A and B are shown apart, each in its own frame.
Chain A
């Protein structure tokens, strides 16, 4: 069964600084990886995904993520954080080799960007 770990409950960063939100995964087949963001009192919004190809994927709102197969990681990054990026971020994984299956989410990381 697949699983996702987000080791940090919260990440604090000053506006304008780079940010990283960590994610590691476990899956038996090829990983299909996703990042979602949840703003207060709103549903989850898709940010980006890695399926195959270039290890650096770019997504919405200037976010990007780097897939590292040897470290089984898929960290979310942004070169310059904005206060409006403050939200709850979820990493998710699906096993790409065993048919259409559920998408398993991590426990989430709260990002707080201070002015």
Chain B
């Protein structure tokens, strides 16, 4: 079946512009995560959604970052007034509700801020 789909795969933007990244999770997966991976570094947790519960936004680095999810489907991560330090690969993952469930990752969006 289809995996987690992210778009665009690559995005180049100028400093100060806003960008929107999209994630289509696996159908039926109630949990959805966003992570950031800077070049040569590990995964930095940003936010996760679980069904209709309030999202855990504890990893968002600044108020320029926001994310939404429509029900148990598509999620968008928005970065306003992008800065060069926002350049990274943004990874989306989804999973079943169970705590035992592994995450299934998309291939990521590579964001470059010039």
- Chain A interface residues (CB < 8 Å from chain B): 32, 34, 36, 42-46, 49, 51, 90, 94, 96, 99-108
Contacts and interface: CB of A to CB of B under 8 A. Distances in A.
Interface string B53-73: 000101100000000000000
Nearest to B53: A100
B70 to A, nearest CB: 20
Contacts of B97: 100
Contact of B106 (A34, A43, A108): A43
Given A99-B99, A102-B48, 18 more contacts: A32-B100, A34-B102, A36-B105, A42-B107, A43-B105, A43-B106, A44-B43, A44-B91, A44-B93, A49-B100, A51-B100, A90-B43, A94-B99, A100-B31, A100-B50, A102-B59, A103-B33, A105-B42
Contacts of A32: 99-100
B29 interface: no
Contact of B41 (A42, A102, A107): A107
29 contacts: A32-B100, A34-B103, A36-B105, A43-B4, A43-B91, A43-B107, A43-B108, A44-B93, A44-B105, A45-B105, A46-B102, A46-B104, A49-B100, A51-B100, A90-B42, A94-B99, A100-B50, A102-B45, A102-B48, A102-B56, A102-B58, A102-B59, A103-B45, A105-B35, A105-B43, A106-B42, A107-B41, A108-B41, A108-B42
Interface of B: 4, 31, 33, 35, 41-43, 45, 48, 50, 56, 58-59, 91, 93, 97, 99-100, 102-108
